Amino acid sequence: MYMSENLNTMQKLSRDSTILTTTVGSYPLPDWLVAAPSETAVVDATRVIFDTQRQAGIDLPTDGELYRFDINHPETNGMIEYFVRPMGGTRADFGRTEVEEFRQRQSMDFRAKPAAVVDDALSEGSLDLLSDCLRAATVAGGPFKFTLTSPYMLARTLLDNYYGDFEALLMGVANVLADQVRGLPCACVQVDEANIPGNPEDGPIAAKAINTVLDAIDPDTERAVHFCFGNYGGQTIQHGAWRALIDFLNDLHTDHLVLELAHRPDDDLVALKEIDPRIKLGIGVVDIKINHVETAEQIARRLDHAEKELGPGRIAFIHPDCGFWMLKRSVADLKITALAQGRDLYLGKAKATTDEHG
């Protein structure tokens, strides 16, 4: 039921607007959820986050990922542990020796300890994305996006004591996630990757793993891949540029990309001209690394600049650069309102210009 409703509404949204607004994933937790967490409180908070986004004018909201937040993991807000620790074949108890081994093997400066240690072949274990997606579907009030972390980023956080080969470990993670995304009751499934932008040499194996997940998504469900350069306390974690990743991006079996651009140099936008036309573009126009709230006029100007650079019809979505979990909720609320108002302002001006010259 949820699938057909979401699909039909997505098709209607695409007819109603040439450029849709969406959010990327995480949203600031309501204070009352932090103070008194429970399953009922998570459901209520998820309903509030959906309603907040819809009232602001967001066409394709996310559930806010509230149930994934873990205060014990400030580097990545718990989104890594949420996926890997329930998997069969992993364990979360480790001491100094394995922490030191992880540090020697990895090049992840922002993470000092592994998310988990892999001692056996990876399997589903107690991981259950369907239940969390169903929870969201019951309170979404319309089409929504469900997100999961990329197998490449997850594999980079693991200490491997079983596979003995990174690509084998990576595909083990990818196969577990592929089984999880089948039949999810949402309009769009988005895979999130914040590590490959700093490691473009791993593009071929990362694309293979991500495509394993994308290919398992139901064919009537929109497939998206989000890329950013990381964020911790307003700081960019990965170094690099979109131009180095064009071949990798073109290899993805995705319907659209969700790209960080508001906090990036203009050269990154120019490089996107080389993206295969079959892939729709999502453009970041809201900077989540700062508290400053953009105006609708600023959003409209950024969208105008992007369309002039990329050509009409290439941009299908605008959105924040990344998730909002590090910002205050009051700031996030204002930023998504500006996002929707800026889109409307731009399309209104674009339509008026077309009408004048029609």
Condensed to tens digits (0 to 9), the pLDDT of residues 295-335 reads 999 999 999 999 999 999 999 999 999 999 889 999 999 99
3-class DSSP state of 229: coil
The C-alpha atoms of residue 235 and residue 30 are separated, in whole angstroms, by 24
Q: Which of 31, 47, 18 is nearest to 307 (CA)?
A: 18
Q: Tell me what the mean pLDDT of segment 278-285 comes to.
A: 96
- Say if CB 160 and CB 102 are below 8 A apart: no
Give the CATH class of 2-357: alpha beta
3-class DSSP state of 155: helix
Condensed to tens digits (0 to 9), the pLDDT of residues 104-113 reads 886 566 678 8
Which pLDDT score is estimated for 234? 45
Q: Report in angstroms the alpha-carbon separations of 62 from 52, 175, 265.
A: 11, 24, 27
Which pLDDT score is estimated for 357? 42
DSSP class of residue 63 equals -
Q: Tell me what the mean pLDDT of segment 129-138 comes to.
A: 98
- Say if CB 173 and CB 151 are below 8 A apart: yes
Q: Band the pLDDT of 267: cuts 50, 70, 90.
A: confident
Tokens standing for residue 340: 């929707």
Judged against a pLDDT cut of 50, whether residue 340 lies above it is answered with: yes
Tell which wins on pLDDT, 13 or 133: 133
Q: Band the pLDDT of 356: cuts 50, 70, 90.
A: very low
Q: Which helix (H) or strand (E) covers residue 20, if one does?
A: strand 20-21
Condensed to tens digits (0 to 9), the pLDDT of residues 144-197 reads 999 999 999 999 999 999 999 999 999 999 999 999 999 999 999 999 998 887
Q: In terms of DSSP bridges, do strands 88-91 and 20-21 run parallel, antiparallel, or are they unpaired?
A: unpaired
Q: Taking the model in full, what pTM does it have?
A: 0.90
Q: Where are the domains of the chain?
A: 2-357
Q: Report in angstroms the alpha-carbon separations of 22 from 19, 215, 241, 286, 307.
A: 10, 23, 23, 11, 17
